Amino acid sequence: MIKSSLLSSIIRTLSGIGHRVTSRIWRLGASARLFYLTIIYSGESFRRFHLTLREIYATGVMSLLIMIVSAFFVGMVLALQGYNILQKYGSSDAIGVFVSLTLVRELGPVITALLFAGRAGTAITAEIGLMKTTEQLSAMEMMAVNPIARVIAPRFWAGVISMPILASLFSMVGILGGYLVAVPLIGVDDGAFWSQMQANVDVRLDIVNGLIKSVVFGVVCTMIALFQGFDAPPTAEGVSRATTRTVVISSLAVLGIDFVLTAFMLAV
Amino acid sequence: MTNNIVEIDNLSFGYKGRLLHKGINMAFPRGKVVAIMGGSGSGKTTLLRLIGGQIKPSKGQVRVDGAVVHEQDRDGIYNLRRKMGMLFQHGALFTDLNVFENVAFPMRELTDLPETMIRDLVLMKLNAVGLRGAHTLMPAELSGGMARRVALARAVALDPNIIMYDEPFAGLDPISMGVICGLIRSLNDALGATSIIVSHDVKETFLIADYVYFVADGVVAAEGSPHDLMQSTLPFVHQFVHGDKDGPVPFHYPAGNYQSELMQVSAT
Protein backbone atom coordinates (compact mmCIF):
# COMPACT_ATOMS: atom_id res chain seq x y z
CA MET A 1 0.00 0.00 0.00
CA ILE A 2 2.76 2.42 1.09
CA LYS A 3 4.93 1.19 -1.77
CA SER A 4 2.28 1.88 -4.40
CA SER A 5 1.50 5.36 -3.03
CA LEU A 6 5.22 6.18 -3.01
CA LEU A 7 5.51 4.94 -6.57
CA SER A 8 2.55 6.99 -7.74
CA SER A 9 3.95 10.06 -5.98
CA ILE A 10 7.30 9.59 -7.78
CA ILE A 11 5.51 9.14 -11.10
CA ARG A 12 3.46 12.30 -10.45
CA THR A 13 6.60 14.29 -9.63
CA LEU A 14 8.45 13.03 -12.70
CA SER A 15 5.45 13.72 -14.89
CA GLY A 16 5.22 17.23 -13.44
CA ILE A 17 8.90 17.87 -14.19
CA GLY A 18 8.48 16.44 -17.70
CA HIS A 19 5.46 18.62 -18.32
CA ARG A 20 7.33 21.74 -17.18
CA VAL A 21 10.36 20.94 -19.34
CA THR A 22 8.30 20.23 -22.48
CA SER A 23 6.20 23.34 -21.84
CA ARG A 24 9.38 25.50 -21.58
CA ILE A 25 10.75 23.99 -24.80
CA TRP A 26 7.40 24.56 -26.52
CA ARG A 27 7.35 28.20 -25.42
CA LEU A 28 10.93 28.69 -26.58
CA GLY A 29 9.99 27.29 -29.98
CA ALA A 30 6.84 29.42 -30.13
CA SER A 31 8.78 32.58 -29.28
CA ALA A 32 11.39 31.77 -31.96
CA ARG A 33 8.55 31.26 -34.45
CA LEU A 34 6.99 34.59 -33.50
CA PHE A 35 10.39 36.28 -33.93
CA TYR A 36 10.80 34.67 -37.36
CA LEU A 37 7.30 35.73 -38.46
CA THR A 38 7.89 39.25 -37.13
CA ILE A 39 10.97 39.58 -39.31
CA ILE A 40 9.17 38.04 -42.32
CA TYR A 41 6.20 40.43 -42.04
CA SER A 42 8.30 43.49 -41.20
CA GLY A 43 8.20 44.55 -44.86
CA GLU A 44 4.39 44.85 -44.71
CA SER A 45 4.68 46.89 -41.55
CA PHE A 46 7.40 49.21 -42.98
CA ARG A 47 5.05 50.17 -45.80
CA ARG A 48 2.96 51.86 -43.11
CA PHE A 49 5.78 53.36 -41.12
CA HIS A 50 3.45 55.74 -39.28
CA LEU A 51 2.42 52.71 -37.15
CA THR A 52 6.04 52.23 -36.08
CA LEU A 53 6.42 55.96 -35.44
CA ARG A 54 3.35 55.89 -33.20
CA GLU A 55 4.84 53.02 -31.23
CA ILE A 56 8.20 54.81 -30.96
CA TYR A 57 6.29 57.61 -29.29
CA ALA A 58 4.49 55.17 -26.94
CA THR A 59 7.55 53.13 -25.98
CA GLY A 60 10.45 55.54 -26.48
CA VAL A 61 9.22 59.08 -25.93
CA MET A 62 6.94 58.10 -23.05
CA SER A 63 9.90 56.38 -21.32
CA LEU A 64 12.09 59.50 -21.59
CA LEU A 65 11.20 61.05 -18.25
CA ILE A 66 11.97 57.99 -16.14
CA MET A 67 15.20 57.42 -18.11
CA ILE A 68 16.42 61.00 -17.72
CA VAL A 69 15.65 61.21 -14.01
CA SER A 70 17.26 57.81 -13.36
CA ALA A 71 20.30 58.68 -15.47
CA PHE A 72 20.81 61.93 -13.61
CA PHE A 73 20.83 60.20 -10.22
CA VAL A 74 22.97 57.30 -11.44
CA GLY A 75 25.54 59.79 -12.82
CA MET A 76 25.60 61.76 -9.56
CA VAL A 77 26.04 58.61 -7.45
CA LEU A 78 28.81 57.39 -9.75
CA ALA A 79 30.65 60.68 -9.34
CA LEU A 80 30.38 60.54 -5.56
CA GLN A 81 31.52 56.93 -5.32
CA GLY A 82 34.19 57.39 -7.98
CA TYR A 83 35.66 60.44 -6.27
CA ASN A 84 35.69 58.61 -2.95
CA ILE A 85 37.81 55.81 -4.42
CA LEU A 86 39.95 57.78 -6.85
CA GLN A 87 41.08 60.44 -4.36
CA LYS A 88 42.73 57.69 -2.27
CA TYR A 89 45.05 57.07 -5.21
CA GLY A 90 45.47 60.73 -6.05
CA SER A 91 43.68 60.40 -9.36
CA SER A 92 40.50 62.31 -8.70
CA ASP A 93 40.98 64.07 -12.06
CA ALA A 94 40.12 60.76 -13.74
CA ILE A 95 36.56 60.97 -12.44
CA GLY A 96 35.25 62.06 -15.84
CA VAL A 97 36.68 58.93 -17.47
CA PHE A 98 35.34 56.76 -14.65
CA VAL A 99 31.80 58.10 -14.96
CA SER A 100 31.70 58.11 -18.74
CA LEU A 101 33.21 54.66 -19.28
CA THR A 102 30.95 53.08 -16.65
CA LEU A 103 27.90 54.64 -18.27
CA VAL A 104 28.78 54.17 -21.93
CA ARG A 105 30.07 50.61 -21.61
CA GLU A 106 27.77 49.11 -18.99
CA LEU A 107 25.27 51.08 -16.97
CA GLY A 108 23.79 53.04 -19.86
CA PRO A 109 22.70 50.03 -21.94
CA VAL A 110 21.92 47.77 -18.95
CA ILE A 111 19.90 50.17 -16.77
CA THR A 112 18.11 51.53 -19.85
CA ALA A 113 17.11 47.96 -20.77
CA LEU A 114 15.95 47.17 -17.23
CA LEU A 115 13.92 50.38 -17.05
CA PHE A 116 12.59 49.76 -20.56
CA ALA A 117 11.43 46.27 -19.52
CA GLY A 118 9.66 47.72 -16.49
CA ARG A 119 8.14 50.74 -18.21
CA ALA A 120 7.56 49.92 -21.90
CA GLY A 121 7.84 46.10 -21.84
CA THR A 122 5.05 45.69 -19.31
CA ALA A 123 2.87 48.16 -21.23
CA ILE A 124 3.40 46.19 -24.46
CA THR A 125 2.59 42.86 -22.79
CA ALA A 126 -0.52 44.20 -21.06
CA GLU A 127 -1.76 45.91 -24.23
CA ILE A 128 -1.35 42.86 -26.45
CA GLY A 129 -2.66 40.52 -23.76
CA LEU A 130 -5.77 42.66 -23.41
CA MET A 131 -6.17 42.86 -27.18
CA LYS A 132 -6.19 39.06 -27.16
CA THR A 133 -8.57 38.85 -24.19
CA THR A 134 -11.04 41.23 -25.83
CA GLU A 135 -10.80 39.34 -29.15
CA GLN A 136 -9.27 42.32 -30.99
CA LEU A 137 -6.57 40.11 -32.49
CA SER A 138 -9.16 37.52 -33.57
CA ALA A 139 -11.26 40.30 -35.09
CA MET A 140 -8.23 41.47 -37.06
CA GLU A 141 -7.56 37.94 -38.31
CA MET A 142 -11.20 37.54 -39.33
CA MET A 143 -10.89 40.76 -41.36
CA ALA A 144 -7.97 39.18 -43.24
CA VAL A 145 -5.54 41.59 -41.57
CA ASN A 146 -2.39 39.91 -40.29
CA PRO A 147 -1.96 40.85 -36.59
CA ILE A 148 1.77 40.14 -36.72
CA ALA A 149 2.28 42.70 -39.49
CA ARG A 150 -0.21 45.19 -38.02
CA VAL A 151 0.39 44.89 -34.26
CA ILE A 152 3.56 42.94 -33.47
CA ALA A 153 6.09 44.14 -36.08
CA PRO A 154 5.60 47.92 -35.54
CA ARG A 155 6.05 47.48 -31.78
CA PHE A 156 9.12 45.30 -32.31
CA TRP A 157 10.88 47.84 -34.52
CA ALA A 158 9.82 50.69 -32.24
CA GLY A 159 11.58 48.92 -29.34
CA VAL A 160 14.68 48.14 -31.40
CA ILE A 161 14.95 51.75 -32.63
CA SER A 162 14.13 53.35 -29.26
CA MET A 163 16.53 51.39 -27.07
CA PRO A 164 19.89 52.66 -28.44
CA ILE A 165 18.55 56.23 -28.54
CA LEU A 166 17.37 55.94 -24.93
CA ALA A 167 20.66 54.33 -23.86
CA SER A 168 22.64 57.15 -25.53
CA LEU A 169 20.50 59.77 -23.80
CA PHE A 170 20.90 57.89 -20.53
CA SER A 171 24.69 58.01 -20.83
CA MET A 172 24.67 61.70 -21.80
CA VAL A 173 22.41 62.75 -18.93
CA GLY A 174 24.36 60.50 -16.54
CA ILE A 175 27.62 62.20 -17.53
CA LEU A 176 25.96 65.57 -16.99
CA GLY A 177 24.81 64.44 -13.52
CA GLY A 178 28.34 63.23 -12.76
CA TYR A 179 29.78 66.54 -13.97
CA LEU A 180 27.47 68.56 -11.71
CA VAL A 181 28.57 66.58 -8.66
CA ALA A 182 32.27 66.34 -9.56
CA VAL A 183 32.97 69.87 -10.78
CA PRO A 184 30.72 72.45 -9.05
CA LEU A 185 30.08 70.41 -5.90
CA ILE A 186 33.35 68.56 -5.17
CA GLY A 187 35.65 70.96 -6.99
CA VAL A 188 37.35 68.68 -9.54
CA ASP A 189 38.99 70.67 -12.31
CA ASP A 190 36.59 71.39 -15.15
CA GLY A 191 39.18 70.98 -17.93
CA ALA A 192 40.56 67.73 -16.45
CA PHE A 193 37.07 66.27 -16.25
CA TRP A 194 36.33 66.75 -19.96
CA SER A 195 39.82 66.36 -21.44
CA GLN A 196 40.49 63.03 -19.71
CA MET A 197 37.14 61.81 -20.91
CA GLN A 198 37.92 62.92 -24.47
CA ALA A 199 41.32 61.26 -24.39
CA ASN A 200 40.25 57.93 -22.94
CA VAL A 201 36.81 57.15 -24.34
CA ASP A 202 37.20 55.27 -27.62
CA VAL A 203 34.45 55.54 -30.21
CA ARG A 204 34.64 51.95 -31.46
CA LEU A 205 35.61 50.09 -28.29
CA ASP A 206 33.37 52.01 -25.92
CA ILE A 207 30.58 53.91 -27.67
CA VAL A 208 29.91 51.51 -30.57
CA ASN A 209 30.11 48.47 -28.29
CA GLY A 210 27.65 50.12 -25.91
CA LEU A 211 25.32 50.83 -28.81
CA ILE A 212 25.58 47.22 -30.02
CA LYS A 213 24.62 46.06 -26.53
CA SER A 214 21.60 48.34 -26.43
CA VAL A 215 20.41 47.16 -29.88
CA VAL A 216 20.67 43.52 -28.70
CA PHE A 217 18.80 44.42 -25.50
CA GLY A 218 16.18 46.19 -27.60
CA VAL A 219 15.59 43.05 -29.67
CA VAL A 220 15.49 40.79 -26.60
CA CYS A 221 13.35 42.95 -24.28
CA THR A 222 10.82 43.89 -26.96
CA MET A 223 10.50 40.35 -28.25
CA ILE A 224 10.01 38.96 -24.72
CA ALA A 225 7.30 41.57 -24.04
CA LEU A 226 5.57 40.86 -27.35
CA PHE A 227 5.65 37.10 -26.95
CA GLN A 228 4.40 37.19 -23.37
CA GLY A 229 1.43 39.33 -24.45
CA PHE A 230 0.73 37.27 -27.57
CA ASP A 231 0.94 34.00 -25.63
CA ALA A 232 -0.95 35.16 -22.52
CA PRO A 233 -4.04 33.14 -21.57
CA PRO A 234 -7.05 35.39 -22.34
CA THR A 235 -7.95 36.05 -18.70
CA ALA A 236 -7.20 38.81 -16.19
CA GLU A 237 -4.91 36.45 -14.27
CA GLY A 238 -3.21 35.33 -17.48
CA VAL A 239 -2.37 38.92 -18.50
CA SER A 240 -1.17 39.76 -15.01
CA ARG A 241 1.16 36.74 -14.92
CA ALA A 242 2.44 37.51 -18.41
CA THR A 243 3.26 41.07 -17.37
CA THR A 244 5.23 39.82 -14.36
CA ARG A 245 7.05 37.29 -16.55
CA THR A 246 8.05 40.06 -18.95
CA VAL A 247 9.91 41.94 -16.22
CA VAL A 248 11.50 38.84 -14.67
CA ILE A 249 12.62 37.18 -17.92
CA SER A 250 13.76 40.45 -19.53
CA SER A 251 15.82 41.44 -16.48
CA LEU A 252 17.54 38.06 -16.25
CA ALA A 253 18.07 37.94 -20.01
CA VAL A 254 19.62 41.45 -20.06
CA LEU A 255 22.03 40.65 -17.23
CA GLY A 256 22.99 37.28 -18.70
CA ILE A 257 23.44 38.57 -22.24
CA ASP A 258 25.40 41.56 -20.93
CA PHE A 259 27.95 39.21 -19.40
CA VAL A 260 28.28 37.22 -22.62
CA LEU A 261 28.57 40.36 -24.79
CA THR A 262 31.07 42.00 -22.45
CA ALA A 263 33.24 38.86 -22.38
CA PHE A 264 33.10 38.67 -26.17
CA MET A 265 33.86 42.37 -26.67
CA LEU A 266 36.79 42.35 -24.24
CA ALA A 267 38.20 39.23 -25.90
CA VAL A 268 37.99 40.83 -29.34
CA MET B 1 -22.88 27.16 -58.55
CA THR B 2 -24.51 25.62 -55.52
CA ASN B 3 -27.22 27.58 -53.75
CA ASN B 4 -25.41 27.14 -50.43
CA ILE B 5 -22.64 29.63 -49.76
CA VAL B 6 -21.44 27.68 -46.70
CA GLU B 7 -21.64 23.91 -46.32
CA ILE B 8 -20.51 21.82 -43.37
CA ASP B 9 -19.95 18.14 -44.18
CA ASN B 10 -19.60 15.40 -41.59
CA LEU B 11 -17.56 17.76 -39.40
CA SER B 12 -15.87 16.53 -36.25
CA PHE B 13 -13.76 18.69 -34.00
CA GLY B 14 -12.24 18.10 -30.60
CA TYR B 15 -9.40 19.16 -28.34
CA LYS B 16 -7.75 17.89 -25.16
CA GLY B 17 -9.21 14.45 -25.87
CA ARG B 18 -12.80 15.71 -25.87
CA LEU B 19 -14.86 15.54 -29.06
CA LEU B 20 -16.95 18.70 -29.29
CA HIS B 21 -18.57 18.01 -32.68
CA LYS B 22 -19.33 14.50 -33.91
CA GLY B 23 -20.21 14.49 -37.60
CA ILE B 24 -22.16 17.71 -38.08
CA ASN B 25 -23.88 18.50 -41.39
CA MET B 26 -25.26 21.97 -42.11
CA ALA B 27 -26.05 24.12 -45.14
CA PHE B 28 -26.36 27.89 -45.30
CA PRO B 29 -28.27 29.05 -48.41
CA ARG B 30 -27.43 32.38 -50.06
CA GLY B 31 -29.51 35.30 -48.89
CA LYS B 32 -30.91 33.57 -45.82
CA VAL B 33 -30.59 34.16 -42.09
CA VAL B 34 -29.66 30.84 -40.49
CA ALA B 35 -29.30 30.37 -36.74
CA ILE B 36 -27.22 27.87 -34.80
CA MET B 37 -28.67 27.39 -31.34
CA GLY B 38 -27.74 25.25 -28.37
CA GLY B 39 -26.78 25.42 -24.74
CA SER B 40 -23.61 27.00 -23.36
CA GLY B 41 -20.54 24.95 -24.23
CA SER B 42 -22.22 23.11 -27.10
CA GLY B 43 -19.60 24.37 -29.56
CA LYS B 44 -21.63 27.01 -31.43
CA THR B 45 -18.89 29.65 -31.44
CA THR B 46 -16.36 26.97 -32.38
CA LEU B 47 -18.44 26.32 -35.52
CA LEU B 48 -18.03 29.99 -36.48
CA ARG B 49 -14.27 29.71 -35.92
CA LEU B 50 -14.21 26.60 -38.13
CA ILE B 51 -16.11 28.46 -40.87
CA GLY B 52 -13.66 31.36 -40.58
CA GLY B 53 -10.67 29.01 -40.78
CA GLN B 54 -9.27 30.01 -37.39
CA ILE B 55 -9.13 26.34 -36.39
CA LYS B 56 -9.00 23.12 -38.39
CA PRO B 57 -11.50 20.25 -38.13
CA SER B 58 -10.42 16.83 -36.89
CA LYS B 59 -12.56 15.22 -39.61
CA GLY B 60 -14.91 16.37 -42.37
CA GLN B 61 -14.84 19.78 -43.99
CA VAL B 62 -16.30 23.28 -44.21
CA ARG B 63 -16.78 24.72 -47.70
CA VAL B 64 -17.15 28.45 -48.24
CA ASP B 65 -18.19 29.41 -51.75
CA GLY B 66 -17.07 25.95 -52.91
CA ALA B 67 -13.57 26.17 -51.37
CA VAL B 68 -12.59 23.75 -48.61
CA VAL B 69 -11.52 26.10 -45.80
CA HIS B 70 -8.91 23.97 -44.03
CA GLU B 71 -7.11 23.15 -47.31
CA GLN B 72 -6.39 26.82 -48.04
CA ASP B 73 -2.99 28.41 -47.49
CA ARG B 74 -2.70 31.76 -45.71
CA ASP B 75 -3.53 33.80 -48.81
CA GLY B 76 -6.45 31.50 -49.63
CA ILE B 77 -7.86 31.83 -46.11
CA TYR B 78 -7.47 35.61 -46.25
CA ASN B 79 -9.24 35.69 -49.63
CA LEU B 80 -12.14 33.74 -48.12
CA ARG B 81 -12.25 36.00 -45.07
CA ARG B 82 -12.57 39.03 -47.32
CA LYS B 83 -16.01 37.64 -48.20
CA MET B 84 -16.93 37.42 -44.52
CA GLY B 85 -17.82 39.84 -41.78
CA MET B 86 -18.00 38.84 -38.16
CA LEU B 87 -19.66 40.42 -35.16
CA PHE B 88 -17.94 39.26 -31.98
CA GLN B 89 -19.86 38.73 -28.76
CA HIS B 90 -18.47 41.85 -27.07
CA GLY B 91 -17.84 43.80 -30.25
CA ALA B 92 -14.03 43.42 -30.19
CA LEU B 93 -13.63 47.08 -31.15
CA PHE B 94 -10.05 48.34 -31.33
CA THR B 95 -9.72 50.31 -28.14
CA ASP B 96 -7.02 52.66 -29.44
CA LEU B 97 -9.18 53.78 -32.38
CA ASN B 98 -12.34 55.88 -32.28
CA VAL B 99 -15.68 54.81 -33.75
CA PHE B 100 -14.93 56.28 -37.19
CA GLU B 101 -11.46 54.70 -37.35
CA ASN B 102 -12.84 51.32 -36.24
CA VAL B 103 -15.32 51.23 -39.11
CA ALA B 104 -12.73 52.61 -41.54
CA PHE B 105 -10.16 50.00 -40.42
CA PRO B 106 -11.02 47.21 -42.92
CA MET B 107 -11.38 49.75 -45.75
CA ARG B 108 -7.98 51.30 -45.04
CA GLU B 109 -6.27 47.93 -44.55
CA LEU B 110 -7.79 45.97 -47.43
CA THR B 111 -8.60 48.51 -50.14
CA ASP B 112 -6.95 51.40 -51.95
CA LEU B 113 -10.00 53.63 -51.67
CA PRO B 114 -9.28 57.35 -51.38
CA GLU B 115 -9.77 58.86 -47.94
CA THR B 116 -12.69 61.01 -49.11
CA MET B 117 -14.58 57.91 -50.28
CA ILE B 118 -13.73 56.05 -47.07
CA ARG B 119 -15.16 58.96 -45.10
CA ASP B 120 -18.44 58.83 -47.00
CA LEU B 121 -18.71 55.04 -46.74
CA VAL B 122 -17.99 55.04 -43.00
CA LEU B 123 -20.61 57.70 -42.36
CA MET B 124 -23.13 55.71 -44.45
CA LYS B 125 -22.42 52.52 -42.46
CA LEU B 126 -22.66 54.39 -39.18
CA ASN B 127 -25.87 56.04 -40.30
CA ALA B 128 -27.32 52.60 -41.04
CA VAL B 129 -26.74 51.57 -37.41
CA GLY B 130 -27.89 54.97 -36.11
CA LEU B 131 -24.51 56.09 -34.77
CA ARG B 132 -23.31 58.65 -37.31
CA GLY B 133 -23.38 61.27 -34.56
CA ALA B 134 -21.07 59.14 -32.37
CA HIS B 135 -18.24 58.80 -34.89
CA THR B 136 -15.72 60.75 -32.78
CA LEU B 137 -16.31 58.74 -29.59
CA MET B 138 -13.83 56.19 -28.27
CA PRO B 139 -15.00 52.59 -27.59
CA ALA B 140 -14.70 53.20 -23.81
CA GLU B 141 -17.34 55.94 -24.14
CA LEU B 142 -19.94 53.62 -25.70
CA SER B 143 -22.61 51.52 -24.00
CA GLY B 144 -22.68 47.76 -24.67
CA GLY B 145 -25.47 48.14 -27.24
CA MET B 146 -23.72 51.03 -29.02
CA ALA B 147 -20.44 49.09 -29.15
CA ARG B 148 -22.27 46.15 -30.69
CA ARG B 149 -23.80 48.46 -33.34
CA VAL B 150 -20.41 49.98 -34.19
CA ALA B 151 -18.99 46.46 -34.47
CA LEU B 152 -21.88 45.60 -36.77
CA ALA B 153 -21.10 48.61 -38.97
CA ARG B 154 -17.45 47.47 -39.08
CA ALA B 155 -18.47 43.88 -39.89
CA VAL B 156 -20.44 45.04 -42.95
CA ALA B 157 -17.95 47.76 -43.93
CA LEU B 158 -16.87 45.94 -47.09
CA ASP B 159 -20.33 44.55 -47.93
CA PRO B 160 -19.47 40.90 -47.21
CA ASN B 161 -21.33 37.90 -48.68
CA ILE B 162 -21.41 36.15 -45.31
CA ILE B 163 -22.02 37.85 -41.98
CA MET B 164 -21.45 35.83 -38.82
CA TYR B 165 -22.87 36.92 -35.49
CA ASP B 166 -21.56 35.46 -32.23
CA GLU B 167 -24.21 35.88 -29.52
CA PRO B 168 -25.41 39.24 -30.86
CA PHE B 169 -28.16 39.60 -28.22
CA ALA B 170 -26.21 38.60 -25.11
CA GLY B 171 -26.24 41.18 -22.32
CA LEU B 172 -28.30 43.80 -24.16
CA ASP B 173 -31.22 45.81 -22.78
CA PRO B 174 -34.58 45.24 -24.53
CA ILE B 175 -34.31 48.37 -26.69
CA SER B 176 -30.78 47.58 -27.91
CA MET B 177 -31.83 43.98 -28.47
CA GLY B 178 -34.73 45.07 -30.66
CA VAL B 179 -32.48 47.47 -32.59
CA ILE B 180 -29.80 44.81 -33.21
CA CYS B 181 -32.46 42.27 -34.15
CA GLY B 182 -33.96 44.57 -36.78
CA LEU B 183 -30.52 45.58 -38.09
CA ILE B 184 -29.41 41.98 -38.67
CA ARG B 185 -32.45 41.27 -40.80
CA SER B 186 -32.44 44.57 -42.69
CA LEU B 187 -28.68 44.50 -43.40
CA ASN B 188 -28.95 40.92 -44.60
CA ASP B 189 -31.74 41.80 -47.02
CA ALA B 190 -30.17 45.08 -48.15
CA LEU B 191 -26.77 43.50 -48.88
CA GLY B 192 -28.18 40.23 -50.24
CA ALA B 193 -25.81 38.49 -47.84
CA THR B 194 -26.08 35.26 -45.84
CA SER B 195 -26.24 35.66 -42.08
CA ILE B 196 -25.18 32.99 -39.61
CA ILE B 197 -26.33 33.72 -36.08
CA VAL B 198 -25.01 31.84 -33.08
CA SER B 199 -27.29 32.46 -30.13
CA HIS B 200 -29.28 30.97 -27.29
CA ASP B 201 -31.85 33.76 -27.21
CA VAL B 202 -34.87 31.95 -28.61
CA LYS B 203 -37.35 34.82 -28.97
CA GLU B 204 -35.12 37.22 -30.90
CA THR B 205 -33.49 34.54 -33.03
CA PHE B 206 -36.79 32.96 -34.04
CA LEU B 207 -38.06 36.42 -34.99
CA ILE B 208 -35.47 36.93 -37.75
CA ALA B 209 -34.14 33.47 -38.70
CA ASP B 210 -35.27 31.64 -41.83
CA TYR B 211 -33.87 28.33 -40.64
CA VAL B 212 -32.54 27.07 -37.31
CA TYR B 213 -30.12 24.29 -36.31
CA PHE B 214 -30.10 22.99 -32.74
CA VAL B 215 -26.74 21.61 -31.60
CA ALA B 216 -26.53 19.30 -28.60
CA ASP B 217 -24.03 16.62 -27.55
CA GLY B 218 -21.90 17.37 -30.61
CA VAL B 219 -24.59 16.64 -33.21
CA VAL B 220 -27.45 18.49 -34.89
CA ALA B 221 -30.27 17.53 -32.54
CA ALA B 222 -33.00 19.26 -34.56
CA GLU B 223 -33.43 21.61 -37.50
CA GLY B 224 -36.20 23.44 -39.27
CA SER B 225 -37.96 26.76 -39.61
CA PRO B 226 -38.68 28.68 -36.38
CA HIS B 227 -42.39 27.87 -36.82
CA ASP B 228 -41.70 24.12 -37.09
CA LEU B 229 -39.41 24.16 -34.08
CA MET B 230 -41.94 26.04 -31.96
CA GLN B 231 -44.37 23.18 -32.61
CA SER B 232 -41.73 20.48 -32.12
CA THR B 233 -42.45 17.71 -29.63
CA LEU B 234 -38.82 16.61 -29.44
CA PRO B 235 -38.00 16.76 -25.71
CA PHE B 236 -34.73 18.69 -26.15
CA VAL B 237 -36.23 21.28 -28.50
CA HIS B 238 -39.30 21.67 -26.31
CA GLN B 239 -37.16 22.20 -23.20
CA PHE B 240 -34.88 24.71 -24.96
CA VAL B 241 -37.60 26.69 -26.73
CA HIS B 242 -39.85 26.92 -23.68
CA GLY B 243 -37.06 27.20 -21.12
CA ASP B 244 -38.24 24.23 -19.02
CA LYS B 245 -36.08 23.37 -16.03
CA ASP B 246 -36.72 19.62 -16.39
CA GLY B 247 -35.94 17.73 -19.55
CA PRO B 248 -33.10 15.96 -21.36
CA VAL B 249 -30.70 18.78 -20.45
CA PRO B 250 -30.06 18.28 -16.73
CA PHE B 251 -30.08 21.27 -14.37
CA HIS B 252 -27.32 19.72 -12.24
CA TYR B 253 -23.76 19.15 -13.34
CA PRO B 254 -23.00 15.42 -12.81
CA ALA B 255 -22.23 14.89 -9.10
CA GLY B 256 -22.25 12.21 -6.43
CA ASN B 257 -25.00 11.58 -3.90
CA TYR B 258 -26.03 14.91 -2.34
CA GLN B 259 -26.83 13.54 1.12
CA SER B 260 -23.67 11.49 1.49
CA GLU B 261 -21.54 14.41 0.30
CA LEU B 262 -23.08 16.69 2.94
CA MET B 263 -22.51 14.05 5.63
CA GLN B 264 -18.89 13.72 4.52
CA VAL B 265 -18.32 17.47 4.92
CA SER B 266 -19.98 17.44 8.36
CA ALA B 267 -17.77 14.55 9.47
CA THR B 268 -14.57 16.38 8.43
Q: What is the pLDDT of residues A31-54, one digit of tens each?
A: 999 999 999 999 888 888 999 999
CATH topology of domain B4-246: Rossmann fold (3.40.50)
Contact B81 A142 (CB under 8 A): yes
A150/B contact by beta carbon, under 8 A: yes
Partners of B89 on chain A (C-beta within 8 Å) are 135
With both helix axes pointing from N to C terminus, report the angle between B174-191 and B144-155 in degrees, rounded to the nearest 10.
Answer: 10
pLDDT computed for residue B266 by the predictor: 59
The residue that leads in pLDDT, A177 or B259, is A177
Closest partner residue to B84 (CB to CB) among A142, A145, A146 is A142
Asked if B83 is an interface residue toward chain A (Cβ–Cβ < 8 A), one would say: no
Q: Which residues of chain B make contact with A149, given a CB cutoff of 8 A?
A: none
Residues in contact with A33: Cβ distance below 8 Å, sequence separation at least 6, in sequence order = none
* pLDDT computed for residue A222 by the predictor: 97
pLDDT above 90 for B171: no
Asked if A136 and B106 come within 8 Å (Cβ–Cβ), the reply is no
Residue B16: how many other CB atoms lie within 10 Å: 5
> What is the predicted pLDDT for the residue at A6?
87
Q: What is the reported pLDDT for B100? A: 96
Question: Taking CB atoms and an 8 Å limit, are B106 and A138 in contact across chains?
Answer: no
Does the distance separating the beta carbons of B106 and A139 come in below 8 Å? no
Question: A135 and B84 in contact by Cβ < 8 A?
Answer: no
Residue A72 clears pLDDT 90, i.e. is over it = yes
pLDDT band at A3 (very low <50, low <70, confident <90, very high): confident
Contact in structure between B149 and B131 (CB atoms under 8 Å) = yes
Mean pLDDT confidence for A200-204: 89
Residue range A148-173, pLDDT digits in tens:
999 999 999 999 999 999 999 999 99
pLDDT tens digits, B223-232: 999 998 888 8
Interchain proximity B92–A136, CB inside 8 Å? yes
Q: What is the pLDDT of residues B213-256, one digit of tens each?
A: 988 888 898 899 999 888 888 888 888 887 777 777 777 777 88
pLDDT tens digits along A114-150: 999 999 999 999 999 999 999 999 999 999 999 999 9
Q: Which residue of B has its CA nearest to A135?
A: B92
Cα–Cα distance for residue pair B128/B119, rounded to 1 Å:
14
Query: Is B90 touching A (CB cutoff 8 A)?
Result: yes
pLDDT the model gives residue B242: 79
Nearest-angstrom CA–CA distance, B2 and B64: 11
- What average pLDDT does this structure show over A55-75? 94
| Packing angle of the helix pair A49-59, A122-133 (nearest 10 deg) | 120
pLDDT digits (tens, 9 = 90+) for B39-92: 878 888 899 999 999 999 999 999 999 899 999 998 899 999 999 999 998 889
Q: What are phi and psi of B99, to 5 degrees?
A: -55, -45
The winner for highest mean pLDDT among A220-224, B18-22, B203-207 is: A220-224
Rounded to an integer, the average pLDDT of A53-62 is 93
Helix crossing, A209-231 with A2-40: angle to 10°? 120
Amino acid A15: pLDDT = 92
